[in-house]
Chain A
Amino acid sequence: MTPLINPAILFFASIFTSNILLSNFLGMCSFISISKDWKSSFGLGLAVTFVLTITAAVSWVVLHFVIAPLGLEYLSFIVFIIVIAAVVQILEMIIDRASPALYMSLGIFLPLITVNCAILGAILFMQIRNYNFIQSVLFAAGSGIGWWLAILLLAAIRERIDKNPVPAGLKGAGITLITIGFMAMAFIGFSGMIAVQ
């Protein structure tokens, strides 16, 4: 059963109210290490948004036209991982050919993305919640943009924090986690606006 949610509302909900990072904790590993630097954060966020939207569309097609008719639901994890790896590989080649400048800024992040939990997580949410094609694509795009927004905000905050005195034990990851906690609290404030789930 496809849920009756307006895809546009789903798009905004996945950016703000149910941000994939701040409320579902997905994509944390690269989030903490990359957010040291604003420029890399921008590149990685762009790459995640891009790959997430495309893989969600491809996975939806594979799920509904290959996995479901053949009754292979138990293999879906492996199939999704292969789809992600393949899309990342193809994208890397296309970007390399089409725009070397973009490749320089995006290319190094692409291999990292295959094992980014946010990508697989959004696809698994899409499968479990039974979204239709348009809902899936907008949900994925929204999740990617939400992730991008979160990492940019964090990178900007961390640049400020670097100059402040922080207890020795909290330096680096500790204070970053506390900052993320405050950001998550701020994003909870959005949940009055749109109600999904």
Chain B
Amino acid sequence: MNKQDRNIEVHHLTRVEGHGNIYVNVKKGTVEKCEWQVSEAPRFFEAMVVGRHWNELHHITSRICGICSIGHTLASLKATEAAMDITISQQDLKLRKLALHAENMQSHILHVGFLVLPDLMGVGSVIPLAKSNPEEVKMVLRLHRTANEMSRRLCGRTTHPQRLIPGGFSKIPSKSELSELRKMLQDAVPDLQAAAKLVKSVAGKLPDFTRETEFIGLTSPDEYALYDGQLASTDTGTAPVNEYLSFTNEYIVPTSTAKWAKHARSSYMVGALARVNLNYDKLSPLAKEVAGMFGLKPVCHNPFMNSVAQLVEVVHSVEDSIRLINELEADGLKAQSDYFRPEVKPKAGHGVSAVEVPRGILFHDYTYNSKGVCTKANCVIPTNQNHGNIDLDMKTLVPTLLEKTEKEIELTLEMLVRAYDPCISCSTHAVKMRPV
């Protein structure tokens, strides 16, 4: 046994969204401190939306996160719509599902291609890869651009969508735009297969680490649940979305400006791996094939496999988007007037929503008064739900790494945190604690 001291201090971890720190202190072979800390400045969104109108909340809460702005907008709209009994058309539902696929693809490609791949290829960022592996980098860029082009056509732009509004869309894509989009998605399939081979060629660098945990996400009998579904846990089964607080149980940790969460065990995990674990059967055929290439099957307890699960989901999103566009075409895309505003009669009510966004299940919960002014809001963010799991993984992983050098331990821990694709700005959207 190695009796040496090990000190690891990663202040403001790179290649993740937001500010987080890793601290490990080993004295004579004994781990004295091992912590995941969140130091991002808190942002108080739940206080900011109080007093604002029903048709503004999605615009404000979109700003919780630039990377998952479509997901936040959709969760916000769904909560407002639930509170006021607003229904949307089947066409709008399909267009929203496409928007969500676009963001999941964009975010996953960015994460796997630009943030994770450099670790597997032994470099500090994608910038040197652009010189050493130009074809691979161009392929990732092409996939990324397809996903962004999809967001643009559905939402008006890629970051902070403009067209998504309560009750539907202010503007929708034309038939020809949708069929061009389908062509782009079909053309992306060979790139996806090449990307899967590329990741597979370096997947041996993913640490073989397993710690049993609970996985939570949405599930549905009809499809691979992303836009809607029931709450599901690998430990306790399903529950209605309205009961989300009994799943999330958020609590405060002194070393963190973000809230943490726990359910049946001391921590749980959300995100692509949780979704694949819960809904593997509903993946598209090619997505299952890619999962098979990596031996990814439910229930997989290796958090490093989250990046592989993201790749599998990109493939699923491409195939499912083609299916949705075919359906929209078969149903006959119904045009709408310019500057369209669905009819909404604001009323008092309470609405809860859950949407699967790139990093996991996201909840928005609003209360409105009779004028349609928000009186209370709560948002539970995927990364908050993962902080506890990251910390426990670290505490389990570190004692197995003591034979390694500080540099190697540091890299493995950085890779662990990156595997969760944490969105730290999101997770500090607010920190709440009942007055002591």
A and B physically associate: no
Q: A-side interface residues toward B, CB under 8 Å?
A: none
